[in-house]
Amino acid sequence: MSLDFRLSVLDQSPIPEGSTGSDALHNTLDLARLADQLGYVRYWVAEHHGTPGLASAAPEVLIGPIASATERIRVGSGGIMLPHYSPFKVAETFSALSGLYPGRIDLGLGRAPGTDGLTMFALQRDRREASPDDFPQQLAELLGYLDATLPADHPFARLAGTLPGLPERPEPWLLGSSPQSAIWAAELGLPYSFADFINPGGAEIAALYRQNFKDSEAHPVPVVSAAVWAICAETTEEAQRLAASARMSFRLLRQGKLIPVPPPEKAQRFLDQQDGGESPAPVPGRDRRAVIGDPDKVREGIEQVARDYGAQEVMVVTITYDHAARRRSYELIAEAFGLSSATGAGTSATVP
């Protein structure tokens, strides 16, 4: 099957109830190996802090083991939440990863904290006052290190030549779910990954990015990917059953309660009590898109996401209680799009 877009994975390393963070991290390695075998284009790991339900606190730590455990797939951050970090340290870290795994490392960058305000404060090195909101300056400095484009009179200009992985460099992406992120990505000529699973109304934002895009040496044309929630099973009924776990988790998240991913049966009982017999809400909430169903239905839903965004790539985000069900979901999606029998289609397109 010939695809007009490519398929990738965004992994948040879910922690099932009764399991451990260590188990979740090993599940991430297992899923990455599977995604590599199935023909997905890239595998990104998220950044979330202070939650019992996700083990994805340190994408920069996970990327190396994932790249080592795989052969072809690109590996990266989805993303690094730059306000927590020194731009130079991020540049050094991803330069080293690029040196170890040439041509395979992506640096997805975001502005959101990936946590609540108190945990964000705990992440600060200097707690005398809140960190400044200076993301554009941080981003410019980081790109200056990676591209060696800091002005000669910049106090840190010489440091660009000391990055440990040179001459290899990571591929920067800007992540976002708002118009402001689209404007920054367009002005800087960066590829743009939109979080449809956070804001399903992003088609106009992606269009804004394309309209304002300023071509760069690395990217003469705009590049859009969209990350969407999806759960696939042999039947739509089974997919809906599996989705109950994420529905409960997100229902409680909206109430400020963080939990490990519950079993589907427990989650369905909770939802039945909450909804009073109403029809089930989509994952992750009533105001967000989710693609849930059998392979035909999920393929149709993912294709619709690609059309909505004019995306060259769709990243699939899946959370289930059972790791085997999550593996099977990605297998069925790969089969539905013909990735297993046509891996080359996932590696020959022009999207970086």
- pLDDT, tens digit, for every residue of 32-73? 999 999 999 999 999 999 999 999 999 999 999 999 999 999
Residues 6 or more apart whose Cβ sits within 8 Å of residue 269 = none
> In whole angstroms, what is the distance from residue 146 CA to residue 190 CA?
13
In the chain, what are the domain boundaries? Answer: 6-124+132-240+290-346
Kindly provide the residue ranges of all beta strands, DSSP E only, lying in the chain, ordered along the sequence: 6-11, 42-45, 74-81, 105-110, 171-176, 192-195, 224-232, 291-293, 313-317
Residue 286 has pLDDT above 70, yes or no: no
| Closest among 52, 48, 72 to 62, alpha carbons compared | 48
Count Cβ atoms below 10 Å from residue 167 Cβ, excluding itself: 9
- pLDDT, tens digit, for every residue of 82-109? 999 999 999 999 999 999 999 999 999 9
pLDDT score of 130: 77
Phi and psi (nearest 5°) for 314? -120, 130
pLDDT score of 254: 86
Residue 121 has pLDDT above 90, yes or no: no
Largest CA distance in the chain: 66
Average pLDDT over residues 293-314: 97
Confidence category of residue 347, pLDDT binned at 50, 70, 90: very low
Query: Superfamily for 6-124+132-240+290-346?
Result: Luciferase-like domain (3.20.20.30)
Average pLDDT over residues 215-229: 94
Helix locations, the chain, DSSP H = 21-38, 59-69, 87-100, 117-123, 135-147, 179-188, 203-212, 236-253, 264-275, 295-309, 323-336
Residue 216 has pLDDT above 90, yes or no: no
258: its two tokens: 């963080």
pLDDT score of 289: 82
The answer to whether 167 and 272 are in contact (CB under 8 A) is: no
Confidence category of residue 122, pLDDT binned at 50, 70, 90: confident
Average pLDDT over residues 266-282: 78
Percent above pLDDT 90 for the chain: 82
Angle at 88 between CA 141 and CA 154, to 5 degrees: 45
